[in-house]
Amino acid sequence: MILKGAEINRYLARPDPTRPALLIYGQDAMRVALKRAEAVAALTGPNADEEMRLTRIAGSELRKDQTLLRDAIKEVGFFPGQRVVLVEDAPDATAPAVEAAINDWSHGDAAIVVTAGGLTKSSALRKLFQTHKTAVTAPIYDDPPGQDEIAAWLSAAGLREVPQAAMRDLVTLSRALDPGDFRQMVEKIGLYKHGDSTPLEPAEIALLAPSTVEAEVDDLIDIVAEGRTGDFGPLMRRIEAQGILPVTICIAALRHFRALHAASADPGGAQAGLSRLRPPVFGPRRDRMARQVQAWGMRNLEDALHHLLETDLQLRSATRAPQMPLIERALIRLAMMPRGSR
């Protein structure tokens, strides 16, 4: 039995314990590990490790001793409940041992869960599961999680209802983060909202999302982009005292103004353009940057990028000019540039 599309997530959330074996495979080891953990937890329920209802066998060990799996599924546990034998990182050479265990499996034996990396169409392990009448194959692709899957994770974390605006930002964020990092963030949201009956807000997602640059450097670039010259000096002195390198500030400014420029050129508008960036911009941060895009205009943003690139080249050259005054002068010049489309 080969699972396809939405069937994969539905089945792994509630695997059938009457089927002898499940193969989970894919190129992305983190995605496979997350799905494996979900399937095993659904089969065994809580406390499986403590109650010795979960047996782990490394694929390399099974290749050396092909009786390990068949013996493990027949063992009788001391505690009631579903037992699982997990074969992790199974190479193709384990196919004969897995086949022997499946053929010898009967109701009451432990369910077999096998994980593997990317398997080709000619893989013996893949052929075994795909052609078997009762075993299940779950290929895990590198697609980011969809809205239904994210909603299920949020529900498991204690959030039953999520407003559409917050869900939209979570879907956007899931495309930028590694699967493990995104799953950890969902769990963090659950802890943050524990006991809080108010809806999840985009601002809270932005607060909990991993930061890509130092917060104070981010604030400094916003001051520059918004022309708030009166706020520039005190924050610049604080950043300088922290020892942040001038080239780091310049890179952050280039990244920010490139994002503004890309958003200004997006046919769907600034909001859509910022959502399509990698990493994407979302929540209140997206609204703020969209206002900056509108204030600057395409031509002014091109001039700003040209000026920042020149400054970056100077900072990386063999010039003896003090570097902090170089970047400070460049940012002040940007903060004082006229705004508006031209």
pLDDT band at 331 (very low <50, low <70, confident <90, very high): very high
pLDDT mean over 102-131? 93
pTM here is 0.59
Query: CATH homologous superfamily of domain 6-139?
Result: P-loop containing nucleotide triphosphate hydrolases (3.40.50.300)
Task: Read off the pLDDT of residues 199-222 as tens digits, 9 standing for 90 and up.
Answer: 888 888 877 877 654 678 889 999
Question: What is the structure's pLDDT at 129?
Answer: 95
CA-to-CA dists, residue 5 to 93, 183, 252, 260, angstroms: 28, 20, 39, 36
pLDDT band at 11 (very low <50, low <70, confident <90, very high): very high
pLDDT at residue 332 tops 80: yes
What single-letter DSSP state applies at residue 93?
A: G
| Domain boundaries of the chain, sorted by first residue | 6-139, 147-208, 215-335
pLDDT mean over 108-131? 93
pLDDT mean over 8-33? 92
Classify 115 as helix, strand or coil: strand
Task: Read off the pLDDT of residues 38-75 as tens digits, 9 standing for 90 and up.
Answer: 999 999 988 898 888 999 999 999 989 989 999 999 98
Strands (E), the chain: 21-25, 54-58, 84-88, 111-116, 136-139
What's 215-335's CATH class?
Answer: mainly alpha
Of 197-201, 211-215, 241-245, 292-296, the range with the lowest mean pLDDT is 211-215
Q: What is the mean pLDDT of the chain?
A: 88
Residue-wise burial string across 309-341, b where 16 or more C-beta atoms lie within 10 A, e elsewhere? eebbebbeeeeeeebeebbbebbeebbeeeeee
